Structure 1
Amino acid sequence: MKDADVQLAGVVKESIVDGPGFRFVVFAQGCPHRCPGCHNPETHLRLGGTFYSVTDLIDMYQTSSLQRGITLSGGEPFLQAAPFAILAKKVKELSGDVITYTGYTYTHLKKLAEEDEAIRNLLEETDLLIDGPFILKLRSLNLPFRGSSNQTLIALSKEGEYLKQEIELL
């Protein structure tokens, strides 16, 4: 089986600002939302970034024994749902958890998942979904790991429930 490639704007090997604990963070290249005030506007264009194989990303993930899990950020991870689902599954096989940020709402993603197996697979591999576009007039500096008050924490697994509870206690 050929290794899947994913187009990224960047990788942070050990972050403490993209979810609880030390996290391996990948920033998807490409985003259709283009939210005014976006924290990562360099990720908007589909052109650009660097291609990584899922195998190379897993190798990078494993170089730190401190990792609690992976955060899929953006850009928009669901534009590359197939390789991100594979990456998320492999991280979970290594006992990591998976947080996925998206500018889509969970309701919209569930509708897309009815027709799109890759989106369905990424949702299935995600423990905690942080959904919704960044809305500048709803910006909040008091919400851990979210930029605006419309963005919600949605637990998609038991591990996601733990992550959500941990964030809500901050």
Structure 2
Amino acid sequence: MRYHNITKEDMLNGDGLRVVLWVAGCSHGCKGCQNPITWDPKGGLEFDEAAKEEIYEQMEKSYVAGITFSGGDPLYQGNRLEITDFVKELKEKYPKKTIWLYTGYLWEEIQDLEILPYLDVVVDGKFILEQKDVSLKWKGSANQRVIDVKKSLEAGSVVLHD
């Protein structure tokens, strides 16, 4: 897996102060994407132990609410195994911190993935330029959904995060 950046003390990509891992690789190609540089799965840097340590260092801080995975698409086929393993590791190491994940896939396409029970919130759906709305909280276009993963898995259908 490759990544482009690790953002520290981010307040735009999830609830509270967060660390954000911007992964490389996306097959959606959304018109108007704010990060087209992240589409190439061979772009960016190798996600190595030094990158993990940088994230752990941030997650140790009491005021950091959790981590958000964005990109690119963390659920791009080439990322799924490593992202799943890393998310499991983070949930075990920091059980009180929240894990958010942005993906262009719909909940209905990913709801059975192994990673889901380890996530707290998923923002799903492709970015649609014609539905762009800068006033929306935690999402870029009106079609996207901010989903409470635990409640959705329990209900067997999408429950939105409040």
TM-score normalized with structure 1 length: 0.79
Structure 1 residues 57 and 86: alpha-carbon distance in aligned structure 2, compared to 1, 3 A threshold? farther
* 8 Å CA contact 1:124, 1:156 repeated in 2: yes
SS at match of 2:115: helix
Q: Aligned runs of 1:45-64 on 2, under 5 Å?
A: 45-53=40-48, 55-62=52-59, 64=61
| Equivalent residue number for residue 89 of structure 1 | 88
Give, in whole Å, the separation in 1 of the partners of 2:86 and 2:20: 12
Deviation at 1:121, TM superposition (A): 2.0
Unaligned runs of 5+ residues in structure 1 are 1-5, 114-119, 166-170
Deviation at 1:67, TM superposition (A): 1.1
Give, in whole Å, the separation in 2 of the partners of 1:68 and 1:31: 26
Give, in whole Å, the separation in 2 of the partners of 1:67 and 1:83: 23
* 8 Å CA contact 1:82, 1:121 repeated in 2: no
SS at match of 1:86: helix
Asked if 1:18 corresponds to 2:13, the answer is: yes
User: Which has the larger share of helix?
Assistant: 1
| Equivalent residue number for residue 124 of structure 2 | 131
Structure 1 segments (4+ residues) deviating >6 Å: none
* 8 Å CA contact 2:19, 2:59 repeated in 1: no
TM-score normalized with structure 2 length: 0.83
How many positions carry a matched residue from both structures?
Answer: 150
Unaligned runs of 5+ residues in structure 2 are 154-159
Cα RMSD, aligned residues only: 2.2
Equivalent position amino acid for 2:128 in 1: I
| Equivalent residue number for residue 148 of structure 1 | 141
